[in-house]
Structure 1
Amino acid sequence: MTDNRLGAAVSPYLRQHAANPVDWREWGPEAFAEARERGVPVMVSVGYATCHWCHVMARESFSDPEVGALLRQGVVSVKVDREERPDVDASLMAAASAFTQQLGWPLTTFLTPDGHVFFAGTYFPPTPVGQVPSFRQILAAVLDAWTERRHEVDANASAIATAIRQGAEADATARSGAAGGGAEPRLPAVDSIRAVTGLLTQAEDTTYGGFGGAPKFPSAPLLEFLSDAAADGDDQAGALLDRSLHAIRSTELTDVDGGVFRYATKRDWSVPHYERMLYDNAGLLAVAGVDQARGIADFLRDTLRRPDGAFVAAQDSESTIDGQRVEGEWYRLPLDERGRLDPPPLDDQVLTGWNGLAIRGLAVAGARHADDEMIALARGAADALLATHVENGHVSVRSSTPRGMSSAPPTIEDVGLLAEGLLELALVTGEVSYAVTARGLVDDGLAGRFEVDPVLAAAGTATGEQPQTAMRSGTVALAAASAVLAALTGDATYRAAAARLVADRAVTGTEQPLGHADALGVALALQRPSREVVVVASDPTDPLRTTARDARRPGTVLALVTPDQAVAWTDAGFELFEGRDTLDPAGYVCHDRVCALPARTGDELRTQLA
């Protein structure tokens, strides 16, 4: 009899597997205690709700009663949603890199009852395909090694765990330095950061646009670095950014409704992998031109937005047509024909960090393109998150669904990305309450107030946040928010903390920009003189506000407030706004909070900004 325990899970991905003839457990000490008692390994399968190949492996292997019986006899089977548990996914991915460089999902790992990985791979088919063995063959080989060569298994598992532990200790040292001082960080020189544009230009696909061959990803953090470099005066970066964005919006990677797919399987951006993730679209908002940004915002509003204003995680690649699950067919239909079919289902998780990324993207794009609806969407998401995922000023929930709140602990991704998003929203709306909450979240992040998973803690394999290629890092977001707070409050310790958080990542990024591009952008801002621009105007159409819209560049913080809002910011401890309520309208251009005489017209402000 099957003992599948996923039926009550909050995660939509886990619930997709609740009917499998597999004795699935959720991740936790209980599953490992069961393995220890039985003397068997733990198989941990990691995926997410809109993952096409996760669906395929589920249909081919985990829905097979014979496979379920083999798993029941030989292992304790654990399902993990990588969106719900990025800490677990990061640790297992780090271990899996010892076995394969083709990392992705589904991730298939085998662990000792002590939580140490001794074998890992990704998707395995039901029958051998070329050099790829079947899942049954993998399972048989793993169990044979477990019973016949346990000393090799234990030695391999121990070596991998040691390597992970050493990397995690180095990362923890950098984080503790950000919180408590320490040696002055070594940020890369501006010339070294600018040289990255040349590396990226060499990597550009000059035929089809973008970088590399197939599969080809939008890589929003890389594009945002190019945007930062272009704003800093690098014309080559600006041209490369324009070409890359054009390739994304003019090919099959962008759907007719404006939403962007996760990646293309072909070099020419054709044959997309049809799932649509909140983080890809939110990240692109921060750099997209007006039409592209409007299309992405429409997709977020019409498809991923919940009635309370928060955004769900993704839309699936597959839809059900004529009783069959098929990938991509719904998306290939014209818009006017889609309405006769059920759309692909949603991954209905609301993730704190991903919503923070969306709040930031919408606020940045809304301000840049003078689009009030984008800013309203950002405000709606922020208010929803503050009502449900933040308690007494602290992030209390990482993931929630209509079925309840997940027990997964919040991570630096949640704290950093939400703090940065709230700060950006505060600066464009003038609402200081968002900044006050963001300041508390930054303080939490710098203090390292994160719960470590008990299994990873006992195993010594908690990695902390790893560099990412697809979305902005929570660590980098925390650094960027810290730098903004330094400008707003006059507290230089925030700027020092920001430098310590990104220094090592940025140095690595000058040679390996993919995975570290977001850190490069923050490092560039920290290397530039601090400039603060405050526009005080009661009239939202005042020319000063319009002129200030073009002031964004690395090292510049731009705030738009009314006189009453300036008073509220001052009362909340943000010294930059002290005395800014006496003139309306007025624009203040400051360097390290030493300000020029107030500009009273758009032309005067434009001259000061130049």
Structure 2
Amino acid sequence: MNDNRLGTAVSPYLRLHADNPVDWREWGPDAFAEARERDVPVLVSVGYATCHWCHVMARESFSDPEIGELLRRDFVAVKVDREERPDVDASLMASASAFTQQLGWPLTAFATPEGRVFFAGTYYPPTPVGQVGSFRQVLTAVLDAWTERRHEVDANASAIAAAIAQGAQADATAQGGERSDADTPRLPSVDAIRSVTAQLVSAEDTTYGGFGGAPKFPSAPLLEFLSDVAADGDAAARGLLERSLRAIRTSELTDADGGVFRYATKRDWSVPHYERMLYDNAGLLAIAGAEQARGIADFLRDTLRRPDGAFVAAQDSESTIDGRRVEGDWYRLPLDERGRFDAPPLDDQVLTGWNGLAIRGLARAAARSGDDECTALAQGAADAVLAAHARDGHVVVRSSTDHGTSAAPPTIEDVGLLAEGLLELALLSGEVRYAETARALVDDGLAGRFEADPVLRAAGTTTGEQPQTALRSGTVALAATAATLAALTGDRALRDAATRLVADRARTGTERPLGHADALGVALALQRPSREVVVVSGRDDPMRWTGLAARRPGTVVATVTPDQARAWAAAGFSLFAGRDSAAPAAYVCHDHVCALPARSDAALAEQLR
């Protein structure tokens, strides 16, 4: 019997399990209602389409008919794609942390029919390995607890849910959810923020580069913070950033085609975990040097880009070579030999937030190097995502594939990262329509117009957005975009909103930068005097590139033609009012008070000094 429900799922990860002899359901109230009716626990298995150990557990356990029969009889089995449902994944991860610190995917959680987790782990093998029981043994133990010690199960589930609710309340307060506009929290000082560099220098692996031992991750948000501090004049941060980027660029973590793998399993950056995620590559693209950025942009263009211009989520670690499904072998082939075999498959879902991150990375790379193709790639992705995932300036879709549009609601990640990417592209290209959409998205984000998942809401286990180590936070991106809009409009309320969003995260980051590095970077910009640079010129004018090179914390740079300047002013961006000189001119302003226009790149460079 196979009553698996995943054949029509939008998520590619869920569809990979459509042929399992497990009667999988998608996450939702119906699955938990069935569990209540049958009085059985819920198994929730979380993963994603390019996850190697998810594939392994699927082959070893979820393809086993006897396991399938056990799950059908004694559980309700639910599959979750962590990329499609980051809210569910965050809640289950928070619950799982009560049982293991080795968090990751696949995540295996057991919940009551009320949606509260009472036991969790990650990958379980088909036979016992050391102290780790087999998946079948885990299922048996869970059933024994469910039938013989239900009071313990309920007590554990309630205690974990209470802890999550308390943490979510604290996080909501930290983000300004219970503050008035007049009660703006305090940012950490510039000295406190810059002192984090010393922490990171002491944590550097001086032998192989990067931070820590094995496994070793590229940690793009942490490197971007170093980039911010380096732009603020910190030589130690610049040296650490350059050494870290060089280690990534010259190691096995970077493939021959320029794409970067998710992490290395060895301290010396060797033996990569071969999956390649859009977010890692987009994050590095925002800060990498010209050669490294060009390689990453080529990978996005040649591998992850769809015909409509949007980018898909990832490329798998596994491929089929000589009839065998193997991890990494395709990537170990020379480039000219790879064409003889099928490339590793793609996780083909288009995620709004991740595309926003890619748009931002491409726009920043173009601003540094003058690479017109990066600008075109960013515009292509922006136009595709806005056409398919937004309506009237609002994000209405988080995830889509060729199989349709996911019912998963948009999150703060989608709104914040897309808004930030669009505004970066608007400042680079001069196209005000992207800025107008970014402004509407910020309004949505600050209004908190997000649906809470009904199961998590009923269980009291909605966590809100958690600190990020590999992916820029949507909350932080929203704050950065609000601060930039404040510089463009003169609206002080937007700058205050940005402060409320990041202040507490940044103060935590001064002691624990991993997970909060992005908030530290925005806090540094908010602590610096506001400086606005408007360059009105043609595309190839040297002043344009002099202005773009002026990036530092607290500085906003816009490059426009005279017609574009008038369009920005008409759209309510007051910084551009009267900045429509027919002859090339650049305006360097502090809180909208501008010096006399510079008429040459040399004069602009002098004003910027």
If the TM-score is normalised by the length of the shorter chain, which range does it land in? over 0.9
Please give the alpha-carbon distance, in whole angstroms, between the structure 2 residues aligned to 1:442 and 1:184: 18
Q: Is the 8 A contact 1:285 1:362 kept in 2?
A: yes
2:605 match: 606
78 and 459 in structure 1: CA distance in 2 versus 1, 3 angstrom threshold: same
The residue identity in structure 1 corresponding to 2:568 is: W
Matched, 1:437 2:437: yes
Following superposition, the deviation at residue 324 of structure 1 comes to 1.4
1:209 match: 209
Please give the alpha-carbon distance, in whole angstroms, between the structure 1 residues aligned to 2:488 and 2:561: 16
Please give the alpha-carbon distance, in whole angstroms, between the structure 1 residues aligned to 2:69 and 2:214: 38
2:521 match: 521
1:478 match: 478
Please give the alpha-carbon distance, in whole angstroms, between the structure 2 residues aligned to 1:132 and 1:476: 38
The residue identity in structure 2 corresponding to 1:238 is: R
Following superposition, the deviation at residue 584 of structure 1 comes to 2.1
Q: Is the 8 A contact 2:301 2:377 kept in 1?
A: yes
Q: Percent identity?
A: 80
Matched, 1:183 2:186: no
The residue identity in structure 2 corresponding to 1:379 is: Q
Q: How does 1:122-133 map to 2 (within 5 A)?
A: 122-133=122-133
Please give the alpha-carbon distance, in whole angstroms, between the structure 1 residues aligned to 2:253 and 2:458: 43
Please give the alpha-carbon distance, in whole angstroms, between the structure 2 residues aligned to 1:90 and 1:181: 29
1:324 match: 324
Please give the alpha-carbon distance, in whole angstroms, between the structure 2 residues aligned to 1:400 and 1:454: 21
1:117 match: 117
Shifted more, 132-141 versus 49-58: the winner is 132-141
Following superposition, the deviation at residue 173 of structure 1 comes to 2.8
Matched, 1:410 2:423: no
Question: Could you list the runs of 5+ residues in structure 2 that have no partner in the other structure?
Answer: none
Matched, 1:88 2:88: yes
Please give the alpha-carbon distance, in whole angstroms, between the structure 2 residues aligned to 1:178 and 1:163: 19
1:512 match: 512
1:559 match: 558
Matched, 1:586 2:585: yes
1:108-152 per-position Cα deviation (integer Å, ceiling 9, x unaligned): 000000000000000010011111111111111111001111001
2:8 match: 8
Please give the alpha-carbon distance, in whole angstroms, between the structure 2 residues aligned to 1:98 and 1:312: 33
The residue identity in structure 1 corresponding to 2:536 is: V
Please give the alpha-carbon distance, in whole angstroms, between the structure 1 residues aligned to 2:153 and 2:544: 64
Following superposition, the deviation at residue 178 of structure 1 comes to 8.6
Following superposition, the deviation at residue 70 of structure 1 comes to 1.1
Shifted more, 219-228 versus 320-329: the winner is 320-329
1:398 match: 398
Please give the alpha-carbon distance, in whole angstroms, between the structure 1 residues aligned to 2:559 and 2:569: 14
Give the match's secondary structure for 1:173: helix
Q: Is the 8 A contact 1:178 1:496 kept in 2?
A: no
1:568 match: 567
1:269 match: 269
Please give the alpha-carbon distance, in whole angstroms, between the structure 1 residues aligned to 2:55 and 2:158: 32
Following superposition, the deviation at residue 182 of structure 1 comes to 4.6
2:227 match: 227
1:209-251 per-position Cα deviation (integer Å, ceiling 9, x unaligned): 0000000000000000000000000100000000000000000
2:427 match: 427
Following superposition, the deviation at residue 179 of structure 1 comes to 8.6
The residue identity in structure 1 corresponding to 2:569 is: T
The residue identity in structure 2 corresponding to 1:470 is: A
Give the match's secondary structure for 1:496: helix
Please give the alpha-carbon distance, in whole angstroms, between the structure 2 residues aligned to 1:584 and 1:278: 41
Q: Is the 8 A contact 1:175 1:446 kept in 2?
A: no
Deviation >6 Å, runs of 4+:
none
Please give the alpha-carbon distance, in whole angstroms, between the structure 2 residues aligned to 1:74 and 1:213: 42
Shifted more, 175-184 versus 186-195: the winner is 175-184
Give the match's secondary structure for 1:339: helix
Please give the alpha-carbon distance, in whole angstroms, between the structure 2 residues aligned to 1:308 and 1:46: 29
Q: Is the 8 A contact 1:179 1:447 kept in 2?
A: no
Q: Is the 8 A contact 1:41 1:113 kept in 2?
A: yes
Q: Is the 8 A contact 1:179 1:497 kept in 2?
A: no
Please give the alpha-carbon distance, in whole angstroms, between the structure 2 residues aligned to 1:3 and 1:390: 35
- With structure 1 as the length reference, what TM-score do the two structures score? 0.99
Following superposition, the deviation at residue 583 of structure 1 comes to 4.3
Matched, 1:141 2:141: yes
1:33-92 per-position Cα deviation (integer Å, ceiling 9, x unaligned): 000000000000000000000000000000000111111111100000000000000000
Please give the alpha-carbon distance, in whole angstroms, between the structure 2 residues aligned to 1:505 and 1:206: 29
Matched pairs, number = 609
Q: Is the 8 A contact 1:330 1:338 kept in 2?
A: yes
1:384-432 per-position Cα deviation (integer Å, ceiling 9, x unaligned): 0110000111000000000100000000000000000000000000000
Following superposition, the deviation at residue 174 of structure 1 comes to 3.6
Q: How does 1:484-499 map to 2 (within 5 A)?
A: 484-499=484-499
Please give the alpha-carbon distance, in whole angstroms, between the structure 2 residues aligned to 1:305 and 1:147: 50
The residue identity in structure 1 corresponding to 2:183 is: A
Tell me how large the CA RMSD over aligned residues is. Answer: 0.9
Following superposition, the deviation at residue 567 of structure 1 comes to 0.3
The residue identity in structure 1 corresponding to 2:184 is: E
Give the match's secondary structure for 1:584: coil
Please give the alpha-carbon distance, in whole angstroms, between the structure 1 residues aligned to 2:40 and 2:186: 47
The residue identity in structure 1 corresponding to 2:603 is: E
Please give the alpha-carbon distance, in whole angstroms, between the structure 2 residues aligned to 1:391 and 1:338: 41
Q: Is the 8 A contact 2:367 2:545 kept in 1?
A: no
Give the match's secondary structure for 2:549: helix
Q: How does 1:8-27 map to 2 (within 5 A)?
A: 8-27=8-27
Give the match's secondary structure for 1:260: coil
